[in-house]
Amino acid sequence: MTSELQNVSKKTKLDGFRPGKAPLDVVRRMYEDGLKSKVRNSVMENAVRRICKEENLAVSMGYEANIIKEGDEGLEFSFSFELTPSFELQTVSTLEIVKHVAPVEDGEVDEVLENFRKRAPKWEEEPKSIKVENGRKIVIDLSRLPQSGGKNKNQEVKDLELLIGDKNLLDNFDEHLVGKSIGDAVEFLINYPKNFKDRSVAGKNIRHRAVVKKIFKAAEHKLDDEFAKAIGFDDLGKAKEWAASFIRQKHEGVARDVMKRELLEKLSSMYEFDVPKNLLDVEKTAVSRQIREEGERLGKEITPHILDECVKIARDRVKLGFIVAEVARKEKIIVSRNEIAQAIRELAAATGVQERDMWNFYRNENAVRAIVGPLLETKVVDFLLTKVKVKEKTCSWKRLVEIDEEPFEFFLDGDENKKKASPKSAGKSEGEKKASARKKSAVKKDDGKK
């Protein structure tokens, strides 16, 4: 406490004393009560850390402290905690995992190209009599006019193409052009946001002038070489090759998810150890919330049996978290800073959040763990899949999707459950039988510091 009071004394300015020169007894009277809790927690934290290090104890998710005596002679307290489980890793070389292979079908290629065709209109130039309206593409010359009393010169952008109705346009200025014809000129104000990159106009209303030069209407392409060139390929054959490659990657991604779930299911069954109750309680809450949401979506009642299943799933998640962390430790599998940075950039792009804001959010250590956990799990799973026996099984894309999207088994109707248990289903791989449970019970993330 004295040391902490001395630190406060050096930084505190009190009336009647020069900065840092206030007597310690004065500082004590003013700040001792507020500092007691901070000092007490610091002392207990340091003591627990030292004891755990000396005794080589791996504590799970903090500890509970009980103060026995506190006074001028010092602090006496007891603490209780749960240890992380200790276990030996087992070989996975005897495990057999099914890799579902869904060949690319012609209909899938056509569907991909058809979607592109609908989203990539063929622009046909309109005659001068046509007016600008929503959905049309136009070409304009846009000028930023000098401000009254300002020093900036007239700035002009020639042949600017824009789509009327595009919500990404600054201040929706295209609305001023609706109803105009080729050759028409119109002046209007654009309200620039305060964070606009050109600081000379940020936060200002600037007058502009636009002259309409061309108007285009959207027409549909035919599925031919012209369309292929419009979307960046030499001909239709090259576009189909790209579409097939895109579909193949999609199939492989889903197949890998199913493989991962089967691997984790079998990995969990290889180990029997108790998991810390504090971690299990946290996971049970998360699983129960997920199950209830799934039940509402499917219109299913949450029964006591289903709640019991939630506990089993939560226990598997926590157990797998420890297994994944131990594999990572033993095999020296780590997540690099570059991998974390790439994940944050991809997350920003996927969510539409400014990358700068995303980086600010992930300055928090707990938030970073939420990124590291899935990355570490992916790297561990990739490593383990190189050690198991992989058996390929051909199926249709439709069947692969069914395996991937099956709900929890306890949400299936009675007839469906009977079908799963019938001799006819015996030929299914473990990945198909367990896909649902593993999909909904992703590994509890662990950073290896438990």
State which amino acid sits at residue 287. Answer: V
Please give the C-alpha separations between residue 279 and each of 66, 123, 318, in angstroms, as whole numbers.
Answer: 21, 59, 7
Residues 269, 434: Cα–Cα separation, whole Å: 12
Question: Is it true that domain 122-220 has CATH number 3.30.110.30?
Answer: no
Q: Whose structure tokens read 């979307």?
A: 231
Residues 340, 156: Cα–Cα separation, whole Å: 42
* pLDDT at 425 > cutoff 70: no
* pLDDT at 435 > cutoff 80: no
For residue 7, the model assigns a pLDDT of: 59
The CATH-assigned architecture of domain 2-82 is 2-Layer Sandwich (3.30)
Q: What's the rounded mean pLDDT across residues 399-420?
A: 68
For residue 424, the model assigns a pLDDT of: 32
Q: Are 79 and 66 in contact (CB under 8 A)?
A: yes
* pLDDT at 33 > cutoff 70: no
Instruction: Pick the closest to residue 445 from 379, 376, 358 (CA basis).
Output: 376
DSSP 14: -
380: its two tokens? 């561990």
Name the strand (E) or helix (H) holding 143.
Answer: strand 137-144
Q: Are 59 and 82 in contact (CB under 8 A)?
A: yes
Residues 4, 380: Cα–Cα separation, whole Å: 45
Residue 243 Cα to chain centre, angstroms: 26
Q: Is the dihedral of CA 253, 259, 265, 267 positive or negative?
A: negative
Please give the residue that has the higher pLDDT: either 428 or 348. 348
- Whether 2-82 shares its CATH topology with 122-220 is answered no
Q: What's the rounded mean pLDDT across residues 439-450?
A: 38
Residues 192, 190: Cα–Cα separation, whole Å: 6
* pLDDT at 166 > cutoff 80: yes
Could you tell me the pLDDT band of residue 179, with boundaries at 50, 70 and 90? very high
Q: Is the dihedral of CA 223, 229, 234, 238 positive or negative?
A: negative
Residue-wise pLDDT tens digits, 44-72: 788 888 887 887 777 777 777 778 787 76
- Residue 124 dihedral angles phi and psi, to the nearest 5°: -110, 130
Pairing of strands 389-394, 96-101: parallel
Q: What's the rounded mean pLDDT across residues 218-238?
A: 91
Q: What's the rounded mean pLDDT across residues 238-263?
A: 95
pLDDT, averaged across the chain:
81
Residues 379, 382: Cα–Cα separation, whole Å: 5
- The predicted model scores a pTM of 0.66
Residues 427, 250: Cα–Cα separation, whole Å: 26
Return the CATH superfamily for domain 96-103+236-440. Trigger factor, C-terminal domain (1.10.3120.10)
* pLDDT at 161 > cutoff 70: yes
Q: Are 444 and 275 in contact (CB under 8 A)?
A: no
pLDDT cut 70: percent of the chain above it: 81
For the chain, domain boundaries: 2-82, 96-103+236-440, 122-220
Q: Are 443 and 375 in contact (CB under 8 A)?
A: no
242: its two tokens? 């790209």
Q: What share of the chain is helix, strand, coil (3-state, %, to 5)?
A: 50, 20, 30
* pLDDT at 147 > cutoff 70: yes
* 430-440 helix and 397-405 helix, angle to the nearest 10 degrees: 50
Residues 6 or more apart whose CB falls under 8 angstroms from that of 101 comprise: 251, 255, 392, 393, 394, 395
* pLDDT at 450 > cutoff 50: no
State which amino acid sits at residue 380. Answer: V
For residue 293, the model assigns a pLDDT of: 87
For residue 136, the model assigns a pLDDT of: 93
Other Cβ atoms less than 10 A from the Cβ of 399: the count is 13
Residues 375, 340: Cα–Cα separation, whole Å: 8
- Exposure of 335 by Cβ count < 10 A (0-12 exposed, 13-18 middle, 19+ buried)? buried
* pLDDT at 441 > cutoff 50: no
Lowest mean pLDDT of 198-202, 211-215, 282-286, 427-431, name the range.
Answer: 427-431
